[in-house]
Structure 1
Amino acid sequence: MHIRNKWLLISVGLGVLLNPLNSSMIAVAIARMQQVYHLAYTEVSWVIFVFYLASAVAQPVMGKASDLFGLKKIFLAGLVIAFIASLLAPLSPYFGLLLVFRILQAIGTSMLVAVGMAIVRIHITEKQATALSVMSIFLSGAAALGPFIGGILIHWWDWQAIFIVNIPFIVASYVLAWRFIPNVQQPTSLTRQLSLRKWLALIDAPGILLFTVGLVGLLVGLLSSKSYGHLSIKIVIVSLIGLVSLGAFVRYELKTQTPFIPLRTFAKYPAMTRVNIAYMLVNTLYYSLFFGLPTYLQTVRHLSEFHTGLLMLSLGLCSLVVSPLAGRWIDKSGPQPALLLSAILMTLGSLWIVTWQPTSPMISVCLALAAFGVSNGLNNVGMQAALFQHSPKDIIGVASGLFNTSRYLGTILSSLLISIVMGDTFDTGGLRILGMILTVIALYLIFMNRKRSPSSLPNTDHSH
C-alpha cells in the first residue's frame, strides 16, 4: 500500500473510532455521574439514550449531506464538532448541559462514521479489502476496549477524562485528514441545486422530527412513571404525544418518496425483516449486560472503576478474538450455525446471571462476560452475513441503513430495560430479574435460528 494511503487510513481510523469509543466508555462512568450530579439511574441513563438517538438520526443524514458538501468537508466538520463537545462537556455544571454536549458529540462522531468508510472506498483502490478490514479493527477495537480505557481514566482522574481523552485523537485525525484526504471537486448533482426546503424534504426532516419526538416522548413517559411510581396527567400527556408522533411517523414514512426509515421495505422483504428484528434483540440483550453490569459491580459489589473496566475487558477481548474466527466458519457453513451457537451462549450466560449471589466469586462474572463476548463476536459477523443473504442486491444500501437503525434501537431498548427492571437502586435481586428477561430473549433467538435452517431458507436474491 502506498505511504500516502497508509496515512489516509490512519487519519480516517482515528476519526471513526471516536463514535464506538465514546458509546462504550460511558458504561463505567454512569455510577460516578450519579454521585456527581445526585441523580437516579433512570435520569443518568439519558446520557446513553441521547447518544444513540442522535447517532441514529445523524448518520443517514450526514451520508446524504456529503453529496452536497463533499466527503472531506463533512469529515473535518465532524472532527470540529467532536472537539467542541469533548472540550466543553467536562465543564458542564448541570446534567442537562452535559446532555447537550453529549448530543453534539454523537452528531460529530456520526459524521465521521457516515463518510469515513466512503473515503476509504473511494480513495484507496490498492488492497481495498485490507484497508476496510483495518477500519473494522478501529471500530470494533474501540468498542471492545472502551470500558477498560474508561475505567482507567476515571480511576486515576475523574469522569471528565473520558471526554478529554478524545482531544489528542481528534487533533491528530484533523491534521492528517487535512493533509492526506484529497480535495475532490464534487460533481454537479441534483442535490447541489436544491433549495433548503427541497433539501429538507430529501433527508425527510418531517420523518426525523416525528421519529425523534415519538421516541423521546415514550422514553420520558416510561422512565418518569418508573421514577415517580405513579401516573400523573403530565406523564400521560407526554406518553400520548410520543405514541401519536410514532403513529404519524409510520403513516408519513409509508407515503413519502424519500423516507428516513423505509418501512415499505420491511413489508416487501419479510426474511430481511426477521434479520433486523433478531439484530435488534441481540443488541438489546448484549447492551443490557454491557451497560447494566458495570453499574451493578460499582454500586453493589463496590468495585472500583479500574477493576470494573478490567472485568469488562474479558467481554471485549473475547469478542475481538472470535470475530475473525467466526468469519472463516461462516464462509464455510453460512451464518445460521454461528448464530445458533451465539444464541445458546447468550442463554447460558443469562441463566448464569440468574444464579448470582452478592458474594459470588468474580470468576463467575468473568465466565458470563466471556460467554457474551464470544456470542457478540459471532453476531458481529453472522448477522451481517445473514443480512447479505436475505437482502436483494439492488437494495443493499437501504438494507445496511436499516440494519444500523436496528442496532441503535436495540441499544436504546437495552438502557430502557435496565431502567425499568433495576430502577434507581441496583441490587442482586434486580439483576436476577434482568437475567431472567435476557434468558427469555435468548431462548427466542434460539427458536428463530432453529426455525430458519439453511435448507428451508428462501432465495431472496432479486438481483435482476
Structure 2
Amino acid sequence: MGAHSRWLMISVGLGILLNPLNSSMISVAIARLQDVYRLDFTVVSWIIFSFYIASAIAQPVMGKASDLFGRKKIFLTGLVVSFIASLLAPLSPNFGWLIVFRIVQAIGTSMMVAVGMALVRIHITEKQATALSVLSIFLSGAAAIGPFIGGVLIHYWDWSAIFLVNIPFLVASLLLAWRMIPKDESPTSVLLSMSFRKWLDLIDATGILLFTVGLVALLFGLLSAKSSGHVSLWQIIVGVIGLVLLLAFVRHELKTASPFIPLRTFAKYPAMTWVNVEFMLVNVLFYSLFFGLPSYLQKVRHVSEFHTGILMLSLGLCSLVVSPIAGRWIDKSGPRSALIVSALLMAFGSVWLVLLHQDSHVISVCLALAAFGISNGLNNVGMQAALFKSSPKEIIGVASGLFNTSRYLGTILSSLLIGIVMGDQFSSEGLRVLGIILTTIALFLVFMSLRRESRQLSPASK
C-alpha cells in the first residue's frame, strides 16, 4: 500500500471514528448531565435517542446523496457540520439546545460514515481488505474506548470536554481529506436533471417523516408517563398518534417504489429477518448494560466518572481482543457455535447483575462487563456472518443497510427499557429488575441460536 493510500485511509478513519466515539462517550456523561440540568434519566435519555434516530436516518440518506453530489463533498461537509456542532454544544443555554446540537452532530458524523467505506473501496485498489479491516478497527476501537475517554475528560474538565475533544480529530481529518481524497467525478446527466421532488421520492422523504415523528411521539408518550408517575390523557393521545404514524409508515413502506426501510425484503427472506431480529435483541442487551451501568455506578455506588470509565474499559477491551479470535473460529465452524456461546455469556452477565447488591465490591461489575464484552466480540463477527449466509448476493447491500437499522433500533429500545425500569431514580433494585429482563432476553437468544440450523440460514437451500 502506497503512502498516498495510507494517508487517505487515515484521513477517512479520523472522520468515521467520531460517530461511534460520540455515541459511546456519552454513556459516562449521563449522570453528570442529570445533575447539571436537574433532570431524571427518562428526560436525559433523549440525548441517546436523538443521536441514534438521527444516525439511522442520516446514514442511508447521505449514502444516496453522495451519488448525486459526490462522496468527497459529502465527507467534507460532514466534517464542517460536526465541527460546528462540537463547538456550539458546550455553549447550549439549556438541555433542549444541547439535543439540537447532538442531532446536528449525529448528522455530520453520519455523513462521513455513510461514504467513508465507499471512498476506501473506490480509491484504494491494492490490499483493499486490509484497508477495510483497519477502518473497522477505527470504528470498533472508538466505540470500545469511548467510555474511558469520556470518564477521563469529565473527571479532569467537565461534560463539555466530550464535545470539544472532537475538534482536533475534525481539523486533522479535514486538512488530510481536502488533499488526499480525489476530486469527485462529474455526476451523470440523469442525476443532474433530477428535480427536487424526484430527489425527495428517491430518499423516501414521506417514509422518513412518518418514521421519525411516529417514533419520537411514541417514545415521548411512554417516557413522559414514566417520568411523571401517572398516565394522563395527553400522554395517551401522543403515544397513540405515534403508534398510528408508525403503522402508516409500515403501510407506506410496503407500497412505495424506493422505501427508506425495505420491509418487503423482510417478508421475502424470513431467514434474514430472523438474523435482524436477533441482532436487534443483542443490541438491546448490550446497550442496556452499556448505558445503564455507568449511571448506576455513579448514582448508586458513587463511583467517579474517571473510575467508571476505567471499569467500562474492560467491556471494550474484551470485545476488541475477542473479535479477531471470533473471526478465525467462525471461518472454521460457522456462526452457530459462536452465537450460542455469546448468548450464554450474555445470560451469565445478566444473572450477575441480578446478584449484585449494595455491599458487592464495585470491581465485581467487571465480571458482567467482561461477559458482555466477549459476547459483543463474538456477535460483531458472528451476526455479520449469519447475515451473509442468510442473504442472497444480489441484495447484500440492502441487507447490510437493514442490519445497521436493526442495530439502531436495538440501541433505541435499550434506552427506552432503562428509562421505563429505572425512571427518575437509579437503584440496586432497579438494576436487579433490569438484570431479570435482560436474562429473559438472553435465554430467548440461546433458544434462537440453538434452532439456527433448523431455520435453514442459506436461502439457496430452499
Per the normalisation by structure 2, the TM-score is 0.99
> Percent of aligned positions with the same letter in both sequences?
74
CA apart distance, 1:237:
1.4
Which amino acid letter does the alignment assign opposite residue 432 of structure 2?
A: R
User: Are 1:214 and 2:218 matched, yes or no?
Assistant: no
CA apart distance, 1:120:
0.3
Counterpart Cα distance in 1 of 2:189 and 2:375: 44
CA apart distance, 1:462:
8.9
Aligned length: 462
Corresponding residue number in structure 1 for 2:194: 194
CA apart distance, 1:287:
0.1
1:157-176 equivalent positions in 2, closer than 5 A = 157-176=157-176
Is residue 392–residue 462 contact of structure 1 (8 Å, CA) maintained in 2? no
1:224-263 equivalent positions in 2, closer than 5 A = 224-263=224-263
Counterpart Cα distance in 2 of 1:130 and 1:169: 23
1:361-400 equivalent positions in 2, closer than 5 A = 361-400=361-400
2:275 is paired with a residue whose SS is helix
1:29 is paired with a residue whose SS is helix
Counterpart Cα distance in 2 of 1:456 and 1:169: 45
* Offset from partner CA, 1:151-175 (integer Å, 9 cap, x none): 0000000000000000000000000
Corresponding residue number in structure 2 for 1:27: 27
Is residue 67–residue 186 contact of structure 1 (8 Å, CA) maintained in 2? no
CA apart distance, 1:452:
1.4
Corresponding residue number in structure 1 for 2:274: 274
1:44-63 equivalent positions in 2, closer than 5 A = 44-63=44-63
Corresponding residue number in structure 1 for 2:318: 318
Is residue 326–residue 382 contact of structure 2 (8 Å, CA) maintained in 1? yes
For structure 1, which segment, 360-369 or 253-262, has the greater mean C-alpha deviation from structure 2 after superposition?
Answer: 360-369
Pick closer, same or farther for the CA change 1:386–1:458 going to 2, 3 Å: closer
| Cα RMSD for the two superposed structures | 1.1
Is residue 311–residue 366 contact of structure 2 (8 Å, CA) maintained in 1? yes
CA apart distance, 1:101:
0.1
CA apart distance, 1:189:
5.0
Corresponding residue number in structure 2 for 1:306: 306
1:329-348 equivalent positions in 2, closer than 5 A = 329-348=329-348
Corresponding residue number in structure 2 for 1:428: 428
* Offset from partner CA, 1:73-130 (integer Å, 9 cap, x none): 0000000000000000000010000000000000000000000000000000011011
1:259 is paired with a residue whose SS is coil
Counterpart Cα distance in 1 of 2:184 and 2:246: 40
* Offset from partner CA, 1:31-84 (integer Å, 9 cap, x none): 000011111110000000000000000000000000010000000000000000
Pick closer, same or farther for the CA change 1:38–1:458 going to 2, 3 Å: closer
CA apart distance, 1:342:
0.1
CA apart distance, 1:459:
2.9
For structure 1, which segment, 235-244 or 128-137, has the greater mean C-alpha deviation from structure 2 after superposition?
Answer: 235-244
Counterpart Cα distance in 2 of 1:406 and 1:456: 20
Which amino acid letter does the alignment assign opposite residue 377 of structure 2?
A: G
Corresponding residue number in structure 1 for 2:411: 411
Counterpart Cα distance in 2 of 1:325 and 1:338: 11
1:22-171 equivalent positions in 2, closer than 5 A = 22-171=22-171
Counterpart Cα distance in 2 of 1:319 and 1:355: 23
For structure 1, which segment, 182-191 or 4-13, has the greater mean C-alpha deviation from structure 2 after superposition?
Answer: 182-191
Which amino acid letter does the alignment assign opposite residue 225 of structure 1?
A: A
Is residue 391–residue 399 contact of structure 2 (8 Å, CA) maintained in 1? yes
Is residue 70–residue 187 contact of structure 2 (8 Å, CA) maintained in 1? no
Counterpart Cα distance in 2 of 1:289 and 1:162: 21
Is residue 79–residue 112 contact of structure 2 (8 Å, CA) maintained in 1? yes
Corresponding residue number in structure 2 for 1:457: 456
Per the normalisation by structure 1, the TM-score is 0.98
Is residue 153–residue 162 contact of structure 2 (8 Å, CA) maintained in 1? yes
Counterpart Cα distance in 1 of 2:80 and 2:184: 20
User: Are 1:205 and 2:209 matched, yes or no?
Assistant: no
2:459 is paired with a residue whose SS is coil
Is residue 386–residue 457 contact of structure 2 (8 Å, CA) maintained in 1? no
Which amino acid letter does the alignment assign opposite residue 391 of structure 2?
A: S
Is residue 68–residue 187 contact of structure 2 (8 Å, CA) maintained in 1? no
* Offset from partner CA, 1:211-269 (integer Å, 9 cap, x none): 00110011000001101122212111111110110011011000000000001000000
Counterpart Cα distance in 2 of 1:379 and 1:190: 41
| Structure 1 unaligned blocks of 5 or more | none
Corresponding residue number in structure 2 for 1:181: 181
Which amino acid letter does the alignment assign opposite residue 447 of structure 2?
A: F
For structure 1, which segment, 157-166 or 363-372, has the greater mean C-alpha deviation from structure 2 after superposition?
Answer: 363-372
Counterpart Cα distance in 2 of 1:333 and 1:186: 46
Counterpart Cα distance in 2 of 1:221 and 1:227: 10
Counterpart Cα distance in 2 of 1:144 and 1:290: 10
CA apart distance, 1:456:
6.0
Which amino acid letter does the alignment assign opposite residue 457 of structure 1?
A: Q
CA apart distance, 1:458:
4.8
Is residue 393–residue 461 contact of structure 1 (8 Å, CA) maintained in 2? no
